Amino acid sequence: MRYTAHIRKLLIAIGLTFLVIISGVIGFMQLENYNLREAFYMTIITISTVGFKEVRDLSPNGQVFTAFFIMFNLLTFAYLISTISAYLFEGELHAIFKIYMINQDLKKVENHIIVCGFGRNGSKACEELLAAKETVVIIEMNEALVKEKAALIKNLDIVMGDATQDEILQKAGIERAKAIITTLPKDADNVFVTLTARELNQRIRIIARASDKSTESKLIRAGADSVVMPEEIGGIHMANLVIRPDVIQFLEMIDGLGPSKLRLEELDYRDFRPELKGKTLEQLNVRHKTGATVIGLKNRDNDFMVSPDLKKQLNDGEILLVLGTNKQINAFINQFRRAI
């Protein structure tokens, strides 16, 4: 990565500066019999070219050493200045510092979502996750792509690197993440990320992108919880726009693509307020209290009940699905979800 090369270049420049100082101190001590303090003083005034008087007159050997020492120092100093100037003018120093601070912050992040790949699918996923106020960490190796989407990046943590490498996933906090979305262009890379993520975190939820239908089964075997095929979904969507346009218009409202955005929300029974547990849907009276509509319920067997009976009593392991406007869903969450 380019940032790694820049850091290496800066470290080399700083290392050379220290080497110059050490060489000068040793040279003056050996050739002029200076003590450590005198040798250090002579080295610094020679490097800085301030023109202060020498500790004492130099011997012929000391003069030759000082001449070569000055030439080497000028080259080193020029290299150091050019390196730092490049960072200042190109904003690289700020970028490196920002990445360093992000890496420090990532050590504290937990229960977050990792998005591998910041292309069309990855960036759209990030937008939706941010809208839901989730903590997101991006892994991307294309620096130009990151700069192109700088407006979105400023609200996200980013790890520059190859998501197929274990150390990059670990740097993104894979062991502490609650989910990972891999949207890399190559199916083989998504399979590899899925395998590695499942190995590093058995509890993590994995959503993987696939281009080829044959890759779907491989991703499932590798440990993916869900596989999304954007091209297939896009084709189905376009066909449905012809066959059932009004249904699609309604679905677009739910997805937030239409002018009147609707929002789907789920609430696990475990997250209900204690005083509401064990009640029936009729007793909860969600529609009257919030304006939102209960459209489904997922039971402990992972089966869905559409428009569940109002006499249905909620039990542990079940998830309630609710539809409404943003205002209605917020009211539902505030009234029914327990305080965290």
Give me the residue label for tokens 């205002």. 327
Is 0.85 topped by the overall pTM? no
Q: What is the pLDDT of residue 229?
A: 93
Q: Is residue 246 a part of any domain in this protein? A: no
Indicate if 118 and 197 belong to the same structural domain. Answer: yes
Q: Is residue 104 a part of any domain in this protein? A: no
Indicate if 180 and 270 belong to the same structural domain. Answer: no
Indicate if 115 and 203 belong to the same structural domain. Answer: yes
- Among 186, 216, 233, the domain boundary falls at 233
* CATH code, domain carrying 266: 3.30.70.1450
Sheet containing 179-182: which strands, arranged edge to edge? 157-160, 136-140, 113-116, 179-182, 205-209, 226-228
Q: Is pLDDT of 154 > 90?
A: no
pLDDT tens per residue across span 207-217: 999 999 899 99
Q: What is the pLDDT of residue 259?
A: 52
Share of residues in the chain with pLDDT > 70 (%): 86
- Among 58, 90, 122, the domain boundary falls at 90
| pLDDT averaged over every residue in the chain | 84
Q: Is residue 54 a part of any domain in this protein? A: yes
Q: What is the pLDDT of residue 44?
A: 84
Kindly indicate the confidence band of residue 47, based on its pLDDT and cuts at 50, 70 and 90. Answer: confident
Indicate if 118 and 86 belong to the same structural domain. Answer: no
Indicate if 165 and 126 belong to the same structural domain. Answer: yes
Q: Mean pLDDT, to the nearest integer, of 286-292? A: 94
* CATH code, domain carrying 123: 3.40.50.720
Indicate if 167 and 73 belong to the same structural domain. Answer: no
Indicate if 59 and 139 belong to the same structural domain. Answer: no
Q: Is pLDDT of 291 > 60?
A: yes
Q: Is residue 305 a part of any domain in this protein? A: yes
Indicate if 116 and 15 belong to the same structural domain. Answer: no
Kindly indicate the confidence band of residue 272, based on its pLDDT and cuts at 50, 70 and 90. Answer: very high
Q: What is the pLDDT of residue 17?
A: 81
Q: Is residue 247 a part of any domain in this protein? A: no
Q: Is residue 229 a part of any domain in this protein? A: yes
pLDDT tens per residue across span 158-214: 888 899 999 999 989 999 999 999 999 999 999 999 999 999 999 999 999 999 989
Based on its alpha-carbon atoms, the radius of gyration of the chain, rounded to whole angstroms, reads 31
Q: Is residue 127 a part of any domain in this protein? A: yes
* Domain assignment of residue 306, given as a range: 258-336
Q: Minimal CA–CA distance to 113: which of 177, 159, 166?
A: 177
Other beta carbons less than 10 A from residue 279's beta carbon: 13
Q: Is pLDDT of 88 > 60?
A: no
Indicate if 75 and 130 belong to the same structural domain. Answer: no
Q: Is pLDDT of 7 > 90?
A: no
Indicate if 69 and 41 belong to the same structural domain. Answer: yes
Q: What is the pLDDT of residue 18?
A: 86
Q: What is the pLDDT of residue 197?
A: 96
Q: Which residues contact 204 (CB under 8 A, 6 or more apart)?
A: 174, 177, 178, 179, 180, 197, 198
Q: Is pLDDT of 1 > 60?
A: no
Q: What is the pLDDT of residue 339?
A: 79
Q: What is the pLDDT of residue 189?
A: 96
* CATH code, domain carrying 35: 1.10.287.70
Q: What is the pLDDT of residue 78?
A: 75
Indicate if 217 and 283 belong to the same structural domain. Answer: no
Q: Is residue 245 a part of any domain in this protein? A: no
Range with the poorest average pLDDT among 101-105, 274-278, 328-332:
101-105
CA–CA dist 249, 259 (Å, integer): 10
Kindly indicate the confidence band of residue 58, based on its pLDDT and cuts at 50, 70 and 90. Answer: confident
Q: Give φ, ψ of 42 to 5 degrees.
A: -65, -40
Number of domains in the chain: 3
Q: Which residues contact 30 (CB under 8 A, 6 or more apart)?
A: none
Indicate if 123 and 155 belong to the same structural domain. Answer: yes
